[in-house]
Structure formats: C-alpha cells, structure tokens
Amino acid sequence: MSLLEIKNLHASVDGHEILKGINLTINPGEVHSIMGPNGSGKSTLAQVLARRQAYNVTQGSVTFMGKDLLEMKPEDAACEGVFMAFQYPVEIPGIGNTYFMRSALNAIRKYHGQDEMDAMDFLPMFREKLRLLEMDEKLLNRSVNEGFSGGEKKRNEILQMAVLQPRLAILDETDSGLDIDALRIVANGVNALRSPDRAMLVVTHYQRLLNYIVPDFVHVLVDGRIVRSGGPELALELEEKGYSWTEGQTRQPVQASA
C-alpha cells in the first residue's frame, strides 16, 4: 500500500485557486522532491498536507496510510505520522523547547494508546537528537525558537522531526536562507532519518539541497500542476536550464504525473 496518495487535488486560498489538480503517489522509503518557481504552489501543497485550515480544498482526495487525510485536524494528522518542517518556524515565547517537545511526543503516544514518557526518559533521548543536529544544549532551556538564528530554527525543525519520528516528513523550503555549514548539518539530520518505512517530501526552490539529500523522484510544479517528473537528474537539468524553461511546459496539453 502506498503511504500517501494525492489524486486531482485542487486547493484555493481567499478564493484564488493555487493547486489545480495534483496527482502524486509516495511509497514508504521513498524521497520525493517538489521543485518549482515562486508562486507555483509548492508551499500550499505542504500546508494542505499539514492540514492548515486557511487552505480550502475544493476537489480531489488525499489518502494517508489508507485514511482520508483531508478529514483530519492538524493534530490528528500529526498523530497519524505527518510532520511538516516549517519554512518559517514560529517563535513561542514562554514555552520551553523541552517542555514543548515532550508535550508533543506524549500527545502522539497517547493517541496511539502508549504510556506518556516522563522527563527522566525523555531528556537523554532529546539530548542525543540534539547532538545529531549539532545543537547547543543551551537551546533546551530556551523558549521555542525565541531568539534563534535562522539556521538554529531550521535545525530545530529537524530536531523535532527526529524526536517525533513521523511516517511522512515534509520539508518546506528547509534549505532557504541556510549557509553551507547549516545546510550540511540539516541534510545530515534528514539523511539519518531516512528509513524503509518513512517517506519524505522535500519542497525546495534550489537544486543545492538535493546534492545532500538525494531524492528518488523529482517533480516539477508549475502553476499548481506537476508538469514533469523524473529521477534526480531532472533536478540537475532544472539547475542548468533554469525555471524559465518550465514556462513552456504549462501550455502543453498533456501533463506528466507520478
């Protein structure tokens, strides 16, 4: 059974249609990358999958592990195993990073009928993940993302992913704004989480990230539709030709789909 199956997905925000019929199937263990120019709908797709309610799904279906994802609230999707690393992680003053992560993990464990994890068990595990992301232990005691640098925020997203161990990880432009060292650390963190039963959807504007996280499939999203799909070599081709090359693609009557 596929992990995620998107069929003819249409979504709009404030009455503007952004996604105009997305078809995409992701199997466990696969890494898919969605590339596309600004405004093509990449982030909208990520947000719809994370169940942000500002996006209105007008047509189509999304099945996640056999269940209707579009029926789920954000917290339910998270508990079922969907995780999105935010393009712009939110600062939440007054809530400690450690407390937040333990609350989230315990919410998910409770959903699955598991016992909650106490601080004694949680902390060593959290510290280990922190080392994976080469993050300073001081961040444990700080408020969620408050005063973090751009790179620290993105690392914190991957740290959360490492703690919550989702089935589907969506990275929404996680590479944007990162210097090469931070990019390498983030990519290492992501690669360490690759596993046969976990899939990833890497949304990016730049090919650079894909040198570090090598995808199995690359899809090109233009104007709310996937116009081309291929292997990792497609990313290189895009890099070489630029997105202007895709502009002609939208007018082609036949669209590729995965």
Partner 1 sequence: MTTAIADLESYLDEFTSFSKREGAPDWLKRLREDAFACFCQTGLPTTHDEDWRFTNISAIAKTDFELPGRPTQLSAADLSAWKFPIGAAIELVFVDGQFVAELSTTSSLPSGVDVSSLREQTTKGALEHLGRYLNIQRDAFAALNTAFVDDGAFVHVSREVVLDRPIRLRFISTQAVSPRMVHPRNLLIFDQESQAAVIEEYVSLGTGTVLSNSVTELVADENANVSHYMIEREHLGAFNISTLRIQQGRSSNVASHSLLLGGGLVRNNVHPVLAGEGGECLINGLFVGNGRQHLDNYMYVEHASPHCSSRQFYNGILDGHAHGVFHGRIVVHKDAQKTDAKQTNRNLLLSDNAQIDTKPQLEIYADDVKCTHGATIGHIEENALFYLRSRGIDEISARRLLLMAFANECLDRMATGPARDYAERLIHEHLLKIADHVTTADGSVQERSWEEVG
Could you list the residues that contact partner 1 (CB under 8 A)? 50-54, 73-75, 77-79, 83-84, 86, 89-90, 92-95, 100, 103-105, 107-108, 111, 143, 160, 164
DSSP three-state, residue 38 = coil
Pairwise CA distance, residues 105 & 163, whole Å: 7
CB of 91 to partner 1, least distance (A): 8
**Rounded to an integer, what is the distance from CA 199 to the centroid of its chain?**
10
CB of 56 to partner 1, least distance (A): 11
Cβ closer to partner 1: 133 or 234?
133
Cβ closer to partner 1: 35 or 199?
199
- Taking each helix axis from N to C terminus, what angle separates 119-132 and 97-111, rounded to the nearest 10 degrees? 110
CB of 83 to partner 1, least distance (A): 8
CB of 107 to partner 1, least distance (A): 4
Cβ closer to partner 1: 159 or 226?
159
User: DSSP states of 153-201 as a string?
Assistant: HHHHHHHHHHHH--SEEEEESTTTT--HHHHHHHHHHHHHT--TT-EEE
CB of 218 to partner 1, least distance (A): 26
CB of 125 to partner 1, least distance (A): 16
Cβ closer to partner 1: 54 or 180?
54
Cβ closer to partner 1: 50 or 186?
50
Question: Which residues neighbour 168 within 8 Å (Cβ) at sequence distance 6 or greater?
Answer: 3, 4, 26, 49, 64, 81, 82, 83, 198, 199, 200, 201
CB of 151 to partner 1, least distance (A): 19
Cβ closer to partner 1: 163 or 209?
163
Burial of 142 (0-12, 13-18, 19+ CB in 10 A): middle
DSSP three-state, residue 204 = strand
Task: Assign 3-state DSSP to the chain and report helix, strand, coil percentages, each to 5.
Answer: 40, 30, 35
Cβ closer to partner 1: 68 or 181?
68
- C-alpha angle 127/189/88, rounded to 5°? 95
Exposed e or buried b for every residue in 194-222, given b needs 16+ CB within 10 A? eeeebbbbbbbbebebbebbebebbbbbb
